[in-house]
Each structure stands twice: as structure tokens, then as C-alpha cells.
Homo-oligomer: A and B are copies of this chain.
Amino acid sequence: MVSTDPDALKTYGSSPNSYHPESPHSVVVHATSTEDVVKIVNVARKYRIPVVAYSGATSLEGHFSGEVPGSICLDLSGMDKIIDINEADGDLTCQSGARWEDINQALKDQGIPLFFPLDPGPGATIGGMIGTGCSGTNAVRYGTARAEWFLNVTVVLPNGRVIKTRRRARKSSAGIDTTKLFIGAEGTLGIVTEATLRLAPVVPTKVAMAQFPDVGHAVSAVQEILNTPHGPHIQCVELLDDHMMAAINAAGLVSKAYPVRDTLFFKLQGTPAAMKEAAGAVQKIVKAHGSDRFEFAQTDQEAAELWENRKYALTSTITSGGEDAKVWTTDVCVPVSKLPQLVYETKKDLAEANLRSTIVGHVGDGNFHALIIFKTDEELQRVSDAVHRLVHRAIAMDGTCTGEHGVGVGKKEYLVEELGVETVELMRTVKRAVDPLNIMNPTKLYPDPKDEDDKNSH
């Protein structure tokens, strides 16, 4: 199916959660099979037209915008079938448009005690998750898309050939890992059409909350917990700053208001006895690090409600901004020990810039999001400048310009500063070799040569 309706082109070329300048595509094509994708890539090759993969459309850095005039937006969201589940081997094969939430629901519905642990934004799909090299709240326990959750991917290469990167064995040392080439490539090296995922056993969980005098105390508690034998029982540990807690209270989505303090939300996992032990250890450690309030959800419902407070972070922040408020979500990651300093300096900077913001983070990994509120174009410019300063701050702390959201158009100017000219040149060498016509999502991810010159002339 092909569409050139101007409204559709605009929708497909921009994201409601991203505030980078974005441009419409020239045509949207809906693929339903690997063969469809091959045909489209062959047309693109013949006429040298850019092809931009589009799937869950939840990415946040302008990943799938039009940019280059004439581009084809290739909508893969209809390719959402689960093809095969191997319960005994703990793997599942699906089309790339399948959503992680639907996959987990299907496993649950079929009574299979396994799940897929990567949990980015609601609505995200396997293809987009591979594209951005995503992670989420579960990463502290299960790692990211760059670990070993993708056993094998089917890819249509820029030359129109279809490959499978591997077979179904759990491990292989048969040469360089071509699966990994596509993870974080943002659709610039090929279009993923199918994937075999590794699944993990479902383990019972419990949710808890601890409040701290400041972020420094919260972070040192997390570091100590993760280094004990109880560390592997931490499935998630999320940091919500005092502003975020205030926003949650104000949004009225919770049945009782929380003290407005820097807060950790824990999801512990384990069998009953293991969890009891781990809970005792966590409680003791957070107390030793100055937490005067530690609460376990007593019922499943309470746990769901407590965890939803974390999930509502974006909604609550938008609501707290008042009518017409918008929120720029940004994402950096630093060594965990640097997180308190990063939070402290960023809050100071945002206050000086007269901007309101909440902070949430996957604190076990040092991953940090600021959700910055704005209404006017003038405020948007100030937000953009503050994000710029935040990224430089994170890189100066031996961190990265993006912990999980990816580069898109929003972060490409930072890659040379973060990685060095030669590492970026290595990425470009791979890109040029695999996609010599530069038809796959051009102008994304790889820095413009201009950024580099700027850096070199410093």
C-alpha cells in the first residue's frame, strides 16, 4: 500500500515527542513481507531514493523524519506476526513490526512462563528497538539490546540481498557478529524484517520505595546494593527527583501524596525466600545511606500503583506544566558514581536558565533523563541550549550523549567529542562499505562533516 496524502506524510515525518526540525517524506509505503521490502529497496537503489524505516515511531531524536527531499517512508508496523515460539529452547521468532508488549502478552496468554525483557517506550517494536539499541527499566538486571537478546535477524541489505545473520543456537563464535552491526544502526545499514529473540523466565517481583535526603545518598545506596550477592535480585531501580515526586502528587494520579524527596523505586525479583532475604538486605543498606522512609507494596494492586507512578513520569510532568505545556525528554548516561554530580549541576543550570524540569533515571546504569517543560518558541530555544550543556557535562564525566534513545538527528553533533574523530570515521567506513549509495536513512546518526570541523578547530 502506498500513500502520498499530505497529512499522512507529515505525521510519518515527525514525532509528537521530539522537537528537532523535522520534514515530511514524499511517500509512505506499507510493507507486509520481506519480499515487499526487497522490492522497495530495489526501487530505491535504482533511483537513488532514500528509504527510512518506520515502525513503532516512539523514538525521540528525529530518527525517522524526512530530511532528504523525495524520501520513502517504509512503514513496517504491519509486519507484526509472531512466527514461532520454542518454549523449551526459550526463543521466539517474529516479524520486526511486533511490539514488545504484544509479544509478552501473547506468551502470557499461552501460559508460557517466559518473557522478553527489553522494555523501552510503550508501542515500540522489535525493529525499532534493534534500530535504536534500546533498553529500559529492566536493563540493570537484563542488559540492553546490545547484549544477547537477538539471536538472529533477517535483514534486507542496501544491495537488495536478504541475509540471516545467524542460526538458532544460543551462542556462536563463527566470526564477527553481524547481528550486532544492525543494533543501534538506526536503519542506516539495512532493514530488519524478522528476528529470533531469546526469552527469560518470568520471576516473581515485589515493588518498594525508599526516600533519601539527596541524590548522592540514593546513588551510593544503589551502588552498594548492586555489588552484594543480592544485586542480581534488583530487576529495576529508578530514581525520581523531588520535582518528579511533586509532579506525580500534583497530577493526582495516585491515591495518596508522597513526601517530596529524592526517591528510589525498586522492583526486586526472586523466589519467595530469596526475595525476603534481598528485601531485608536492601532495607538495611538504604537505611545506612540515610533513607528514613522505606515501603514495600503489600498487595499486587499496591505494587502496580506504586510502579505506575514511575510509568506516569512523562504524563505527570506534562500535566504539571499547565495548559499547552510540552516536554523535551533528553537522555545521557555516566558512570554511576558521577550521577549525583551530574544531577546536582544540571538542576542548578536549569534553575539558572529559569526552566522547570523533572528528573528520572535508570540509576543502576547511570542513565539519566531530564524532562524539561516549555511552552513558547523562546523557551524551546532555552531548553535546546540547556540540553546542549547537559550533554557536554555528561561527556566530560566520561559519559555518553545518549544512554538508550539513540542519535537520530538530535545527538549526531556530539559523537566526535564523545568518541573521537577516528572512532566516528570507523563507523562511517562501515556505513560507506555496506551502503555505498547512501540510500538507507541518510543524514541520521553519522555526524555531518561540519560538526567535525567545528570540533577540530577548537
Of the candidates B186, B406, B419, B430, the one whose C-beta lies within 8 Å of that of A166 is: B419
Considering only residues 105-138 of chain A, those with a C-beta below 8 Å from chain B are 113-114, 132-135
Evaluate whether A168 and B335 lie within 8 angstroms (CB atoms) in the complex, with A173-B132, A174-B407, A177-B133 already known.
yes
Query: In the complex, what residues of B have CB within 8 A of residue A299's CB?
Result: none
Interface string of A140-155 (1 = CB under 8 A from B): 0001101110000000
Complex formed: what's the CA distance from A372 to B343 in Å?
59
Query: In the complex, what residues of B have CB within 8 A of residue A166's CB?
Result: 400, 419
Interface presence of A228 (CB below 8 A): yes
Complex formed: what's the CA distance from A169 to B223 in Å?
14
Closest to A167 in B: B398
Evaluate whether A183 and B172 lie within 8 angstroms (CB atoms) in the complex, with A157-B422, A227-B113, A277-B274 already known.
no
Interface presence of A185 (CB below 8 A): yes
A201 touches B227 (CB 8 A): yes
Most buried by B among A169, A178, A418: A169
Evaluate whether A335 and B173 lie within 8 angstroms (CB atoms) in the complex, with A143-B147, A270-B229, A423-B164 already known.
no
Complex formed: what's the CA distance from A257 to B426 in Å?
56
Interface presence of A297 (CB below 8 A): no
Complex formed: what's the CA distance from A287 to B81 in Å?
38
Interface string of A263-294 (1 = CB under 8 A from B): 00000001111101110000000000000000
Evaluate whether A228 and B90 lie within 8 angstroms (CB atoms) in the complex, with A165-B423, A181-B176, A422-B157 already known.
no
Query: In the complex, what residues of B have CB within 8 A of residue A335's CB?
Result: 86, 89, 91, 168-170
Closest to A362 in B: B171
A163 touches B430 (CB 8 A): no
Considering only residues 228-284 of chain A, those with a C-beta below 8 Å from chain B are 228-232, 270-274, 276-278
Query: In the complex, what residues of B have CB within 8 A of residue A402's CB?
Result: 172-174
Interface presence of A445 (CB below 8 A): yes
Interface presence of A440 (CB below 8 A): no
Evaluate whether A407 and B175 lie within 8 angstroms (CB atoms) in the complex, with A277-B274, A433-B429 already known.
yes
Question: How many chain A residues touch B (Cβ–Cβ < 8 Å)?
Answer: 104
Interface presence of A405 (CB below 8 A): yes
Rounded to whole Å, the gap between the CB of A274 and the closest CB of chain B is: 3
A176 touches B90 (CB 8 A): no
Complex formed: what's the CA distance from A162 to B419 in Å?
12
Most buried by B among A113, A270, A274: A274
Considering only residues 407-442 of chain A, those with a C-beta below 8 Å from chain B are 407, 411, 414-415, 418-420, 422-424, 426-427, 429-430, 432-434
Query: In the complex, what residues of B have CB within 8 A of residue A414's CB?
Result: 174
Closest to A199 in B: B227
Interface presence of A353 (CB below 8 A): no
B223 touches A88 (CB 8 A): yes
Interface presence of A40 (CB below 8 A): no
Considering only residues 357-408 of chain A, those with a C-beta below 8 Å from chain B are 365-367, 395, 398-407
Interface presence of A103 (CB below 8 A): no
Evaluate whether A162 and B422 lie within 8 angstroms (CB atoms) in the complex, with A173-B404, A175-B407, A429-B434 already known.
yes
Rounded to whole Å, the gap between the CB of A77 and the closest CB of chain B is: 21
Most buried by B among A144, A146, A405, A429: A146
Interface presence of A204 (CB below 8 A): yes
A contact set with B: CB distance below 8 Å: 86-91, 113-114, 132-135, 139, 143-144, 146-148, 157, 161-178, 180-181, 183-186, 189, 200-204, 220, 223, 226-232, 270-274, 276-278, 331, 333-337, 365-367, 395, 398-407, 411, 414-415, 418-420, 422-424, 426-427, 429-430, 432-434, 445-446
Q: List 12 A-B contacts (CB under 8 A).
A: A87-B227, A90-B227, A144-B171, A157-B422, A157-B426, A161-B422, A167-B400, A174-B415, A181-B181, A230-B271, A430-B433, A433-B433
